[in-house]
Structure 1
């Protein structure tokens, strides 16, 4: 499942957030979207799952324009973990995870053994075993995030969209969940703030700045001291071990500018 953005432009309040942006998430690869605050990362994902309507441009899944798909058809192709607050959600953990099965047979159809097995596998991947009957609203922020990731995995869609998936997660769960997602070889498009996690798990990254792609390619090639200074406004020492970039941040830069 290849995801293609072509010439996406979106503005709000007279401010252009996305500016003729084009990029492609290759089939079966883990693609990261990184950039400073306000660069358009989350807005781009919202255009993909149709929470926002672009002013111009198109988005396609394997060449098919997403505008021709019903919401249910889109959900069978695309699972997502968004930045959302569900603290008042009165469901148990297993009920939340099973919501990932709704696109396959509707919200009011009874769950079968295949659905339950899918939910159990997703919960195991998210380290949620033993919490099946726990009320969702009683969980910690990190546990809630893992439930939302398990719900997306339970959806069994070929593409996975993640908006800050490691938000609230401790380092162990961040590493284990991103590792599991990469192992599944889904077409994964993830907004990440932790550049070292992006360097460790992404096959390719797109760096956004002011609504445009400032750089793209394998993380070890993209994350250079010059780019980090100009786009993120930080000085950094970058080393490569085993093909993976390792970033050590030294402090804010006085030379930040757009490349």
Structure 2
């Protein structure tokens, strides 16, 4: 499943959030989108799962425009974990995860043993074993995030969209979940704020700045002290460990911004 954004432009009033932006998430790769606050990362993902429609440009899955799919067809192709908090609900953890199976069923069909097995595998991957009957609203922020990730995995879609997936997660669960998602070999498109996480797990990264792509490529090539200074406004040391970039941040830069 290849995801391609072509010339995406979107504005709010006089403010241009996305400016003729084009990028491609290759099939089976873990692609990261990084950038400072307000650079357009989450807005770009919203164009993909159709929460907003851009003013210009298109988004395609394997060459087919996303607006050609029904909601169910799109859900069968894309699973998403979003930043938006859920309204109050009264479902158990197992019921929440099983919602990931809905795109594969008719309106009145019931869940099968295969669906239940898929849900339990997803919960095991998200370290939720033993919480099946727990009310979702009683969970901690990190536990809720793991439930939403398990629900997305249970969807069994070829593409996975993650908007800040490590929010609220402790370091053990963040490393474990990103590692398991990478091993699945899905087309994964993830907005990440932790640049060291992006360097560790992404096959390629796109750096956004003011709604445009400032740099792209493998993290070890993209994350340079100069880019971190000009785009993120920080001084940093970058070294390579077994081919993976490791970033050590030294503090805000007095030379931030492009000339």
Q: Tell me the residue number matched to 2:41.
A: 41
TM-score (norm 2): 0.99
| Per-residue deviation, 1:258 | 3.3
| Per-residue deviation, 1:108 | 4.0
| Per-residue deviation, 1:126 | 0.3
Q: Is the 8 A contact 1:86 1:137 kept in 2?
A: no
Task: Map 1:214-233 onto structure 2 (within 5 A).
Answer: 214-233=214-233
Q: Tell me the residue number matched to 1:184.
A: 184
Q: Tell me the residue number matched to 1:77.
A: 77
Task: Map 1:29-108 onto structure 2 (within 5 A).
Answer: 29-86=29-86, 88-106=88-106, 108=108
Tell me how far apart the structure 1 counterparts of residues 178 and 74 of structure 2 sit (CA, whole Å).
23
For structure 2, the 5+ residue unaligned runs are none
TM-score (norm 1): 0.99
Q: Is the 8 A contact 1:238 1:247 kept in 2?
A: yes
Runs (4+) of structure 1 exceeding 3 A deviation are none
Kindly provide the CA deviation profile for residues 89-111 of structure 1, in whole angstroms up to 9, marking residues without a partner as x. Answer: 11000000000000010454210
Q: Is the 8 A contact 1:30 1:182 kept in 2?
A: yes
For structure 1, the 5+ residue unaligned runs are none
Tell me how far apart the structure 2 counterparts of residues 125 and 80 of structure 1 sit (CA, whole Å).
17
| Per-residue deviation, 1:87 | 5.7
Q: Tell me the residue number matched to 2:241.
A: 241
Q: Is the 8 A contact 1:239 1:245 kept in 2?
A: yes
Tell me how far apart the structure 1 counterparts of residues 35 and 106 of structure 2 sit (CA, whole Å).
37
Corresponding residue SS for 2:256: coil
Tell me how far apart the structure 2 counterparts of residues 167 and 9 of structure 1 sit (CA, whole Å).
27
Q: Tell me the residue number matched to 1:4.
A: 4
Tell me how far apart the structure 1 counterparts of residues 258 and 171 of structure 2 sit (CA, whole Å).
31
Tell me how far apart the structure 2 counterparts of residues 106 and 156 of structure 1 sit (CA, whole Å).
16
Q: Is the 8 A contact 1:87 1:136 kept in 2?
A: no
Kindly provide the CA deviation profile for residues 161-204 of structure 1, in whole angstroms up to 9, marking residues without a partner as x. Answer: 00000000000000000000000000000000000000000000
**Aligned alpha-carbon RMSD (Å):** 0.9
Corresponding residue SS for 1:177: helix
Kindly provide the CA deviation profile for residues 49-108 of structure 1, in whole angstroms up to 9, marking residues without a partner as x. Answer: 000100000000000110111111000000000012126111000000000000010454
Tell me how far apart the structure 2 counterparts of residues 107 and 231 of structure 1 sit (CA, whole Å).
48
Tell me how far apart the structure 2 counterparts of residues 9 and 81 of structure 1 sit (CA, whole Å).
23
Tell me how far apart the structure 2 counterparts of residues 6 and 150 of structure 1 sit (CA, whole Å).
30
Aligned residues: 259
Task: Map 1:107-146 onto structure 2 (within 5 A).
Answer: 108-146=108-146
